[in-house]
Amino acid sequence: MKAQYFYWLALSAFLELFGLLMLWQTILAPSTKFPVGLLLLLNIIPLLIPMRGFLNGDKKSCSWMAYISLFYLIHGAVECYANVDERWLAGWEAFLSLQLFFGAAFYVRFIGPHA
């Protein structure tokens, strides 16, 4: 398969995960215990760190994006177990983080050593 297919898979998962996290904390299920801005910072900043290189298709940034997506998988799995009301959001987060992980990992694998 072509590497571009996996890049577009990872890119679509990244954008969907970013949107899901933004909507989850602001509109779908805002927290009553913590400030929304603080939760947005804690949830979104890890995705923003390698974003510039990831959007340019940089191999190193894509590999870091794959590693970072595993934290969102853990968060989604724990939230799915702990919070019954938001289980569908957490399950969607876990699915998108797996899609991001495999898309970015296979893109790095198939892009070759020259990129």
The full DSSP string for 71-100 is HHHHHHHHHHHH-STTHHHHHHHHHHHHHH
pLDDT at position 114, please?
64
pLDDT value at 79 more than 80? yes
- Contact of 47 with 61, CB cutoff 8 Å: no
Q: What is the mean pLDDT of the chain?
A: 94
pLDDT value at 115 more than 90? no
| Structure-block tokens of residue 103 | 């898309």
Q: In which domain, by residue range, is 64 found?
A: 3-111
pLDDT at position 11, please?
97
pLDDT at position 109, please?
94
pLDDT confidence tier of residue 44, bands split at 50, 70 and 90: very high
Which one is predicted more confidently, 115 or 103? 103
Average pLDDT over residues 9-32: 95
In the chain, the number of structural domains is 1
Which one is predicted more confidently, 4 or 112? 4
